[in-house]
Structure 1
Amino acid sequence: MGLFNRIRNEIIFVRAALRTLKRMGDLGKDKSTTFADIVEKLAEEKPDNIAIYCGDRTFTYRDYNGAANRYARWVKAQGLGQGDVVALMMENRAEYLMAWLGIIKAGATAALINTNLTSNALAHCLKISGANHLILGNELAEGYFTCTDCMETPMTVWATGGKVQGSEDLDAALDNFNDGPLPDDFRAGLTTDENALFIYTSGTTGLPKAARIPHQRLNGMMAAFSAGANATEKDRMYVVLPLYHSAGGVCAVGTTLTVGGSVILKRKFSAHHFWDDCVQYKATLFQYIGELCRYLLNTEPNKNERKHKLRLAVGNGLRPEIWKEFQTRFRIPRVLEFYGATEGNVALMNFDGTVGAIGRVPGWAKSKFNVEIVKFDIENEKPVRGADGFCVRAEPMEAGEALGQIIDDPERPTGRFDGYAKKEETEKKILRDVFEKGDAWFRTGDLLKQDKLGYFYFVDRIGDTFRWKGENVATSEVAEAMSVYPGIQEANVYGVAVPGADGKAGMASIVSSDGIDLDKFHAHLEKQLPDYAQPLFIRLQQEMEVTGTFKHRKVDLVKQGFDPDAIPEPVYFNDPKANKFVLLDKPLYDRICAGEVRV
């Protein structure tokens, strides 16, 4: 990096970081202002600004605030308020934002339920929320009723968007309440330390956990993204991510709804309609998840893909192998990649757009942030401790676990860790006596590395990285090398156990646009990856299974391993003797398991 670019990036970092920290800090010092207060103020000062675009409907801040007031009065009429929880399960639409704003206006907590859940997992999430009332979008009624037999205590269900048998009619009930300003004492005594939302983890490694989002954290997350994007009331954020998750439902909407700008809500992501929507609604911002960007790149050219007015794409997981191509093809002026988790206290932003980086903290600014990377033992899945019993900081560009010091200080606003609804789940994420006796740090569960200029890079999730032939293999780096091969649309890499072998062997499930030439693909992997990192097994899938936020599911793939009898698609073995991929049939599988084939 040349001197000019280094100076430029330093200036960008200083301006953006100070702006972000100041706004987060200002809100952190104020224990009385909630997001409800922010919207109420905007409804007074900018009542005719459009807050929400949803299909062919628009809602001004006056409309948005008024509708939320109806919900708030309804909540109070059910005898609910501070300390109570209302569950919300609805697909993306304007009423979703009105509902949870109304719930927090009443001082209660909104539990945002994943719309993809059914049966036991859904019953689990409803149970741990502590809610007795559920607001249910009628489009999800079928999914909800799969869990009713699993629930220990029945809930009062309020259907919206259409009647649902056995449920109360919420739309009719709301008609009984006015949308005028709420009394001054409506949420008297409420402070920003109390819960605003419960947002659930993805549940990729077990049942989801309900992360606590107090009003202060909600304010801070929204402020960070609004300041990081330098958003104004002229901005329009296009939201295709689900509103039950923090990326779409807090960070994206908060970017503009805290400054008088607009959100454009899409029921679900559609690669086919994405650019048409951006042009139609004059979007200036959109929020992405990395795989969303890959899906867009895999679509046929769209006449509107370069005619939009977008000035910024903000999100996380944009892999370096597609970063430049994505920006160039779709004429995206600036990318704001970030790193963070719903419940975590490590927050990073890549303000200057350095390709592949998830954020930056230069040495001189380290005292303002709470993040450290420590050496990590992959085999035992725990941080390395030195002879003195304390953790050891990783060297520059050495992968280690990212930790966030747990502190409650407005001057360092990212330091709070509010944990989960269940205290025992909270304690599992805390590492104590890290650098000195009595300190406490949040475990991100992620392996990161940092270069000498302060840029952070994502390596892998702990548990995804595995050891093979005495070496650590990062699944994300293998997937990156595979994804640049022509025709590969998606690659999901994981480790599988091979009887008699130490560690885990690499396996990759891939989706390709056309028939893939495995001999040429094998040659590509030999050039791109060291021997130990090249997948031993390849599984060809028609479609990749993902979560509602486009994260690859690995648990079932790992369970199935490389057994061809357990896998409906073709599986190929990277035969070291033939130096090529060969079809894995049952006899070959048995020979590998018996140790008769060298791996």
Structure 2
Amino acid sequence: MLQRIKNEYIYISTFGRIFKALRSIEAKPDQIIPLQIAEFSKKTPDAIAIFYENKEISYKELIDRSNKYTQWFLNNNLSKGDVVALMMENRPEFLACWIGITQAGGTVALINTNLSGQPLDYSLGISQASNLILGSELLESFSTASDKTKSNFKTWIQGDYNDSNYLEDLDKCLDDLSADKPELDYKITNDDDALYIYTSGTTGNPKAAKISHKRLRLMMLGFKGAIQPNKNDRVYNVLPLYHSAGGVIAVGLALTSGASLVLKRKFSVNEFWDDVHKYKITIFQYIGELCRYLLNAPYHKHEKDHNLRMVSGNGLRPDIWDNFKERFNIKNILEFYGATEGNVSLMNYDGKSGAIGRIPKYMQKILNIHIIKYDVEKEEPIRDENGFCIPCGVNEVGEAIGEIILPGSFEGYVDKTATNKKILVDVFTKGDQYFRSGDLLSKDELGYVYFIDRIGDTFRWKGENVATSEVAEAFADFDGILETNVYGVSIPGSDGKAGMAALSTDKDINLENLYQSLSSSLPSYAQPLFLRIKKEIEITGTFKHRKVELVKDGYNPKEIKEPMYFCDHETQTYLPLDQELFDKIQNKELKL
């Protein structure tokens, strides 16, 4: 009971701080994020804004550099609302660029640095930009773009490179510009677009989500209210700046509070604890898979010897939550849930193990987030006899949706067709509109919410719904298995999809023991029928598992040279999947 009271106090007080932080957004519509960061260049000009590769960039240096980008934007006859594409790996220049352009009224499209070829053509094409700022480290990736794409952009190269006829030298241009912020004869407010941030593309081409200055403030100041960073904090960011977790939340925690951002070009398991120790990190922004990588790593002398007071992020799965917290002596975990483009946002304020947030009964009407019954087989919400959606009961799995209270409150994507696909109408009353999260969640009797799976990742087998995330958790503690990616594959003559798991390992797996372990922790319909052993599990640039290619690959030994195994319930083990066994499955000669 005392713990319940304590948790209620934490919830109410934290929500109150967030609400207070967000009130100023409507009250002061022109106090955009670049102006808030610039205030620290006046109050504490010599304070370190960014630590990067043994360099220290002060707030004054950051804003001086940003003002040069503002000058560059205006000098190139770009106007309020014009889009500039930015393709650059993590470094201070990335932040100076978008701060400077957005304070001039421009919109910056943040291009995924892992793209090449057709996906890069597509992302640049939908950006609606005519200017591209390209980090020299990505010249090779950009060279894979089509000639048509290259001809559509005036490309500005930033960083060391060999002279090229079709690229403009951005550094040389900026060197000649003033570091003073130019006077503008117009205002930039909440309603103007600041950034385009692309979805990760786990299920196809990425979509460009529109991030207005209002939404940017909501995201940054909401987390600031929850975590309460101060000028003495040091925020460690290893996540890509082109995405919202690293580029908005981690950056906002540091730069809107006068704290320091410790920026890493890329995540390194081997360097993680050395960095945390060296820079005296107090806040770490995570993605769940990074926590798993750290747990799989050998002991490090600094893994308990640190100043971390808070880790914040999303995707920390229940199967590793407690181990992660205990092994690394993590004091506070703030897990959150939300999509870059969506209006469904949750935070787990009190650190309840495995939960992504909480919706107490007394907050239901205020938060306007619902979980509705969903038909996995038909891939659509279930409706009652009157045609309305049905709320889920306690611990029942369904799709999370968020009410679009005012027109435009869901900003959506640059592509209006893609936006409309995410809107569900006539949900509880005629004409109402809700944002579809595309995620299956459940809520317990106390209002704690748990992530179950992505819609499309969950599949049906033997008439039952199978959540890939729950199946993956069953592999978590098995000796030798580092990482698991679960998906469904079609089998001739069978309804639904059978489970298949791609595994990365660091030793030979005892298949009989694995069978026994899975059969004791999973119902028979959820136990994967196939296993595939891989050197590593493919991920997106934001550390999410890629499933599309694995599903397309299937399980044909003629096409897949990696070891594969078939679940044989008679011998109670996994047998090597050879061509003879594959043919029997295809010819429906086996009872599955």
Which TM-score band (shorter chain)? Answer: over 0.9
Per the alignment, residue 434 of structure 2 pairs with 441
Of 521, 537, 546, 2:530 maps to 537
Per the alignment, residue 169 of structure 2 pairs with 169
Deviation at 1:564, TM superposition (A): 1.3
Trace 1:140-289 onto structure 2 (pairs within 5 A).
140-151=138-149, 153-164=151-162, 165=164, 166-183=166-183, 185=184, 188-289=186-287
Q: Which AA in structure 2 matches 1:499?
A: P
Deviation at 1:72, TM superposition (A): 0.6
- The superposition leaves residues 204-242 of structure 1 with CA deviations (integer Å, 9 ceiling, x where unpaired) of 111111000000000000011111111111111100000
Q: Which AA in structure 2 matches 1:202?
A: S
Pairing 1:59–2:52 present: no
Of 457, 469, 473, 2:466 maps to 473
Q: Distance in 2 between matches of 1:506 and 1:28?
A: 49
- The superposition leaves residues 135-173 of structure 1 with CA deviations (integer Å, 9 ceiling, x where unpaired) of 111000000010032528421111111135231110000
Pairing 1:571–2:564 present: yes
Deviation at 1:408, TM superposition (A): 4.1
Per the alignment, residue 491 of structure 2 pairs with 498
- The superposition leaves residues 14-36 of structure 1 with CA deviations (integer Å, 9 ceiling, x where unpaired) of 11111112212321443211111
| 1:93–1:267 CA contact under 8 A, matched in 2 | yes
- Contiguous gaps of at least 5 residues in structure 2: none
- The superposition leaves residues 43-99 of structure 1 with CA deviations (integer Å, 9 ceiling, x where unpaired) of 222222211111111111111111100111011111112110011011000111001
| 2:71–2:181 CA contact under 8 A, matched in 1 | no
Per the alignment, residue 553 of structure 2 pairs with 560
| 1:510–1:540 CA contact under 8 A, matched in 2 | yes
Per the alignment, residue 378 of structure 2 pairs with 380
| 2:48–2:260 CA contact under 8 A, matched in 1 | yes
Pairing 1:6–2:4 present: yes
Pairing 1:508–2:501 present: yes
Q: Which AA in structure 2 matches 1:474?
A: A
Q: Distance in 2 between matches of 1:279 and 1:161?
A: 30
Q: Distance in 2 between matches of 1:5 and 1:149?
A: 62
| 2:443–2:449 CA contact under 8 A, matched in 1 | yes
Q: Which AA in structure 1 matches 2:535?
A: Q
| 1:429–1:443 CA contact under 8 A, matched in 2 | yes
Q: Distance in 1 between matches of 2:571 and 2:480?
A: 24
Q: Distance in 2 between matches of 1:367 and 1:182?
A: 45
Q: Distance in 2 between matches of 1:549 and 1:83?
A: 28
Per the alignment, residue 412 of structure 1 pairs with none
Per the alignment, residue 317 of structure 2 pairs with 319
Q: Which AA in structure 1 matches 2:260?
A: S
Deviation at 1:542, TM superposition (A): 1.1
Q: Distance in 2 between matches of 1:494 and 1:76?
A: 49
- Contiguous gaps of at least 5 residues in structure 1: 410-414
| 1:576–1:598 CA contact under 8 A, matched in 2 | no
Q: Distance in 2 between matches of 1:76 and 1:568?
A: 55
Per the alignment, residue 447 of structure 2 pairs with 454
| 1:148–1:154 CA contact under 8 A, matched in 2 | no
Trace 1:291-310 onto structure 2 (pairs within 5 A).
291-310=289-308
| 1:163–1:169 CA contact under 8 A, matched in 2 | no
Q: Distance in 2 between matches of 1:523 and 1:438?
A: 52
Q: Distance in 2 between matches of 1:535 and 1:74?
A: 56
- The superposition leaves residues 463-514 of structure 1 with CA deviations (integer Å, 9 ceiling, x where unpaired) of 0101101110000000011112222110000000000011100000011221
Q: Distance in 2 between matches of 1:574 and 1:284?
A: 46
Of 513, 517, 521, 2:510 maps to 517
Q: Distance in 2 between matches of 1:106 and 1:467?
A: 51
Percent of aligned pairs sharing the same letter:
51
Deviation at 1:578, TM superposition (A): 2.1
Pairing 1:352–2:350 present: yes
SS in 1 for 2:270: coil
| 1:434–1:441 CA contact under 8 A, matched in 2 | yes
| RMSD, matched Cα | 1.2
Q: Distance in 1 between matches of 2:64 and 2:242?
A: 22
| 2:282–2:308 CA contact under 8 A, matched in 1 | yes
- The superposition leaves residues 412-440 of structure 1 with CA deviations (integer Å, 9 ceiling, x where unpaired) of xxx93101111111101000110001111
Per the alignment, residue 90 of structure 2 pairs with 92
Q: Distance in 2 between matches of 1:265 and 1:190?
A: 28
Of 17, 21, 34, 2:15 maps to 17
Q: Distance in 1 between matches of 2:516 and 2:544?
A: 28
SS in 2 for 1:120: helix
Deviation at 1:190, TM superposition (A): 2.1
Q: Distance in 1 between matches of 2:422 and 2:27?
A: 26
Per the alignment, residue 101 of structure 2 pairs with 103
Q: Which AA in structure 1 matches 2:171?
A: D
Of 573, 580, 586, 2:573 maps to 580
Deviation at 1:407, TM superposition (A): 2.2
Q: Distance in 1 between matches of 2:254 and 2:368?
A: 27
- The superposition leaves residues 224-277 of structure 1 with CA deviations (integer Å, 9 ceiling, x where unpaired) of 111111111111110000000000000111012111111011010000000101
Q: Which AA in structure 1 matches 2:34?
A: A
Deviation at 1:581, TM superposition (A): 0.7
Worse-matched range after superposition: 15-24 or 212-221:
15-24
Give TM-score, length-normalised by structure 1: 0.97
Per the alignment, residue 464 of structure 1 pairs with 457
Q: Distance in 2 between matches of 1:468 and 1:123?
A: 38
Q: Distance in 2 between matches of 1:581 and 1:309?
A: 45
Q: Distance in 2 between matches of 1:574 and 1:247?
A: 38
Per the alignment, residue 77 of structure 1 pairs with 75
SS in 2 for 1:321: helix
Deviation at 1:309, TM superposition (A): 0.7
| 1:111–1:198 CA contact under 8 A, matched in 2 | yes
Worse-matched range after superposition: 23-32 or 279-288:
23-32
Give TM-score, length-normalised by structure 2: 0.98
Q: Distance in 2 between matches of 1:330 and 1:551?
A: 23
SS in 2 for 1:124: helix
Q: Which AA in structure 2 matches 1:595?
A: K
Deviation at 1:104, TM superposition (A): 0.3
| 2:131–2:154 CA contact under 8 A, matched in 1 | yes
- The superposition leaves residues 281-324 of structure 1 with CA deviations (integer Å, 9 ceiling, x where unpaired) of 11100111111000111111111112211101100000111111
Q: Distance in 1 between matches of 2:55 and 2:207?
A: 34
| 2:512–2:572 CA contact under 8 A, matched in 1 | no
Q: Distance in 1 between matches of 2:409 and 2:43?
A: 32
